[in-house]
Amino acid sequence: MKHLKQVAGPDSWEPITVSLYRRDRQLTLPMGCRYRSAIRRDDNWRLNRVASAHKLTEAIAGKIRECRRDNTRRGYEVLENFLEVNCGDTPFTPETIDNYMRTFTDALQQQYTDSPVMRNQLILGLSGVLTYARRQGWLPEDYRMRLPSLSKVHTVHRRDMDPQQLRALRELTRQRIADDPLLTQRETYALALFELDFAMQGLAPVDLALLRINMIRELPIQLADGIWHTAYIVETERRKTGIPVRIVMDGPSVAPIMSVLMTGRNPDDYLLPILSDDEPMTERQQMRRIANWFRSRADALNVSLSALPVGQRPSSRITYYYARHAYCQSVDKLDIAPHILRRLIGHAPTTLERHYLAPLTLADQLEVSMRLLALPSS
């Protein structure tokens, strides 16, 4: 059947077009054209989804449930309150979300023009919510998010340490531990804690606080030259991301600290005296106690550094997060491939790393630790 109609005379024909109406749009198609073949991929998705579309509030609630960190959860709760007051709710269809983005952008412009950090936090939060919705199948996989651009923030505080300052800190630590091997003095303990964090591949303080004795093994590892060497191995995961992390430390370098922390302890005890199973806490209470404990030790750490000459001590207060940055900078100076550093500090592996590169062996990690801990960074 040809979809033409006769006009004017027996040899005059013109195409017939028809209009099909849907809830979300009108389509004008040549007569006889297959309806579905003329619908874009996202239209096809909408055809099946319009009647049972999920809403943005559901995605926010799901994203909050996924959060592993209390601070991250609070960030999404702030976003939830901002959207509730300024934007309301919306079903997940590309057109309604695009309109919602315009409302969201206008609200940001009105309220946070002079607060780029808060503005960026809300934009990134909404991006995470839309990514969650796409992962759940509530938005098409190829949907392009039309989010406002991020604001430039010029006050970025980097936790960098000069290599000479790090060397002076570590030499001071070794001297103090030699004078106070049981770590009884507050300042000695604070210095030893920084050295331990550095040796543990820059483990975040919250992850260090959650380590238990039974997560740590001491065993010999055979190196590439055939020599056996003692190492401490820790199997844990980053609380922030849930990514597994394996830590391998040169045994002789950290034994003076580990022996004090582990001797006479039960396998289920925490390595550091911050948390206890005998004192149940909510997650928020745990995080507050961990933050306060490390802040107090950082006070003692900075007091001990005041004994160093002016040129060898940091110009501003340092915290235990500096150990992570110091570790990354020190490994980088060893001319080690960036993908290996990412694995050591627990960053998510790329597709290349997951499928094509060989995993790190215990011997590989031990050699990095030996190189890093045997000689102070320079």
Res 154: pLDDT: 58
pLDDT one-digit tens code per residue, 8-44? 555 555 554 444 444 444 444 444 444 433 344 444 4
The position carrying tokens 């000695």 is 188
> How many whole angstroms separate alpha carbon 50 and alpha carbon 204?
45
Greater pLDDT, 229 or 374:
229
Can you tell me the distance from the alpha carbon of 232 to that of 230, in angstroms, rounded to the nearest whole number?
A: 7
Identify the pLDDT of residue 20.
Answer: 44
pLDDT at residue 163 tops 60: yes
pLDDT confidence band for 115 (50 / 70 / 90): confident
Q: What is the DSSP string of 272-283?
A: STT--TTS---H
pLDDT digits (tens, 9 = 90+) for 276-313: 999 999 888 898 899 999 999 999 999 999 989 988 88
* pLDDT class of 107 with cuts at 50, 70, 90: confident
Q: Output the pLDDT for position 8.
A: 54
Would you state the pLDDT for residue 14?
54
State the pLDDT confidence band at 53, using cuts at 50, 70 and 90: low
Task: State yes or no: pLDDT of 4 exceeds 60.
Answer: no
Q: Is the pLDDT of residue 273 over 90?
A: yes
3-state secondary structure of 270: strand
The arrangement of secondary structure in 163-374, i.e. its CATH architecture, is Orthogonal Bundle (1.10)
Spatial separation of the C-alpha atoms in residues 366 and 233, rounded to whole Å? 9
Give, in order, the Cα–Cα distances in Å from 54 to each of 60, 82, 269.
11, 20, 45
CB atoms inside a 10 Å sphere around CB 77: 14
